[in-house]
A = this chain, B = another copy of it.
Amino acid sequence: MKFMLLTRAADYAVRVMIQMAKLPEGQRTSLPELAANTNAPQSFLSKVLQTLTKAGLVRSWRGNEGGFEILAPGRNATLRTVVEAVDGPLFLNVCLTSGDSCELERHCPAHEVWVRAQSAVMNILDEVSVAQMALGHQQTHGAKLQQISELPPRQQNG
């Protein structure tokens, strides 16, 4: 068994948000289309989209003319925002769940390393927005990589 930080639902959420962000503002898309484009089972993706809608990142319409549209907060959302909208706050280790403190911190020299690792991941996930990722897709692969690596480095806490 492989342990991962992200659930499948969060992974699909990121992919589906990027798909929707590739469309011009105001353009809706359907569940079957999104499912086909993200390689996701429709029933599962439907629940993911419901969560993203509740989080205010996506708008949904019912009926034949219905579908889904990404909203401005969705385009501006960082990778971290999308993932946490589905999975809730992400933690590398249980010792981080109460902020930077831990009941055992004074006894555990590993805690500070976990704080640094957590901070490093979150900084990277905070750097890129859905809109940037959607844009990156339309460029050549090389240009996309360059664009991302040129983002200003963030100060790491601690």
Contact = CB atoms under 8 A, between A and B. Distances in A.
Contacts of A37: 107
Interface residues of A, number: 49
Interface string A1-42: 111111110010011001000000000000000000101000
A95 B2 CA distance: 12
If over half of A's interface residues share one DSSP class (helix, strand or loop), that class is named, otherwise mixed; here it is: helix
A110 to B, nearest CB: 5
Question: Number of copies of this chain in the oligomer?
Answer: 2
Interface of A: 1-8, 11, 14-15, 18, 37, 39, 79, 87-95, 97, 104, 106-110, 112-113, 116-117, 120-121, 124-125, 127-128, 133-134, 136-137, 141, 144-145, 148
